[in-house]
Amino acid sequence: MSKSNFSFSDNIILEDDAVLLRSLQESDVENLLEISINEPETWKYSLVGADGKENLIHYIQLAVKARENQKEFPFIVFDKKSQKYAGSTRFYDINLDFQTLQLGYTWYGSAFRGTGLNKHCKYLLLQFAFETLGMERVEFRADNNNERSIAAMKSIGCKVEGVLRSHMPTRDSDVRRDSIVLSILKNEWFDEVKENLEKKLYRINN
């Protein structure tokens, strides 16, 4: 793949009839503040939390800086049905030479969980990764105790690869976390994952 296919300065917008994802900006603090203040448990399994205004400002600044340093590409998620901002997600650990990236740092307010929003987001992000960027592998990681997140990843077609033991520290605790690793490969996307996800989105929409 040619690196010219993608620039970290691109203003990428991904959307369908249910969601819109666009580049996260520092001005988005106001758009995500309600979730940040009222739902601090959203970041229970996150190393970097966005709970409370100061943490949210810091969280977004770090994400924007990582994009400027060409390491990550963060998005804000807009739910078209409710006309509200729902959360954030991003591509990270992007390696254009190896044609791999990770998809994560995903969180939504409680009103948007279990609504099908995540499947719409993942479809758009995976389609962009495999069909526009030409990625060969998209990797996902989660705290091995985060059952909800792991179930969500499996439901979109991720395959479990294994667990990285004592992989990283946790917030506000001396306990280190085990990280589960899952992935989708390019051939899996085209052979089955895309079609299965489309069927699920059709059921959600009807």
CATH number at residue 140: 3.40.630.30
Using alpha carbons, select from 129, 132, 194 the residue that is nearest to residue 157: 194
**Would you state the pLDDT for residue 132?**
95
Environment class of residue 122 by beta-carbon count within 10 Å: exposed (0-12), middle (13-18) or buried (19+)? buried
* Three-state DSSP class for residue 99: coil
Q: Which domain holds residue 54?
A: 13-202
Domain presence at residue 3 = no
Domain presence at residue 1 = no
**Would you state the pLDDT for residue 206?**
76
Q: How far, in Å, CA of 3 to CA of 27, rounded?
A: 29
Domain presence at residue 6 = no
pTM: 0.94
Name the stretches of the chain with pLDDT < 50: 1-4
Q: How far is CA 56 from each of CA 7, 32, 70, rounded to the nearest angstrom?
A: 26, 8, 21
Would residue 162 be called left, alpha or beta, if left means φ above 0 and alpha means ψ between -120 and 50 degrees?
left
Tell me the β-bridge partners of 15.
20
- Find out whether 23 and 11 touch, Cβ atoms under 8 Å: yes
Domain presence at residue 36 = yes
Residue 147 contacts by C-beta under 8 Å, 6 or more apart in sequence? Answer: none
Would you report the helix, strand and coil content of the chain in percent, each value rounded to 5? 40, 35, 25
The count of domains in the chain is 1
| pLDDT single digits (tens) 12-65 | 999 999 999 999 999 999 999 999 999 999 998 887 889 999 999 999 999 999
Domain presence at residue 4 = no
